[in-house]
Homo-oligomer: A and B are copies of this chain.
C-alpha cells in the first residue's frame, strides 16, 4: 500500500504544477498541445511540415522531450522559432516529461510572443500518459506500421487524448493491416477520440490536420476572451 501512496502523492504534486503551468498558458492565450507516440512514429516530421505550412499564420514554439540527443530540437530550430530541448538523461533517464520540467522550459521562452506551443513528449506510449503538463489537449501520433491493437494495448494514452493522428498512411498498401479494426479499437477505448489519417512524408491529410489545429486555436481564444 505504501508504494501506491507515494505514487499518488507524486502524481498529485505533478498535477498541481501542471495547473500552474496551465494558468500561465491561459493568461497568454497560448494553445498548448502535448504530442505523445511510440519512438519513430513521426511527431517531429509532422511538426516540421506543419510549421513550414503555417508559420506565417501562427507564432509557434516547441518544447522537445528526449532521453538523449537534441536532434529533434535542431530540426525544428531551422524555422527560427523558440525551441527548448529537455533531455531526461540527466534526470535518471526519465521516460516522460513532467510538469516541473515543462515549467523550467517555459522560463526560457518569451510566452508573450507565442500562440501555439507544441510539447513533443518522449517516445513512449505508457509513462507520458500519466503526467499532466498543463496542456489544453493530448495528441497521439501513431505510425500505421504499429498495428491494429495499439489502442487496446496502451489504453491510458488513447483514453486521455483528444486526437489520434495516424501517420505514414502512404505505407498502407505495403502492410498486412486491417485499418478498419484499428479505427474500431481506437473508438472502443475512447469513443470521443477524433481520428485523422496523415502522411508527413507525402503531405496527405496535413491540410485537414491544420484545419483541426486552427479550430482548436480559435476555440482557445474564444474561451480566454470571455
Chain A positions within 8 Å of B, measured between CB atoms, are: 4, 7, 38-40, 66-69, 71, 92-93, 95, 122-127, 130, 143, 145-147, 149-150, 152-156, 168, 170-171, 174, 176, 201
Contact = CB atoms under 8 A, between A and B. Distances in A.
Number of copies: 2
A176 B153 contact: no
Contacts of A152: 68-69, 71
Nearest to A4: B92
In this complex, the member of A130, A143, A170 whose beta carbon has the largest number of chain B beta carbons within 10 angstroms is A143
A123 B124 CA distance: 8
Nearest to A173: B174
A93 B174 contact: no
B145 A171 contact: yes
Nearest to A128: B95
A101 to B, nearest CB: 14
Contacts of A171: 145, 171, 174
B38 A40 contact: yes
A146 B156 CA distance: 22
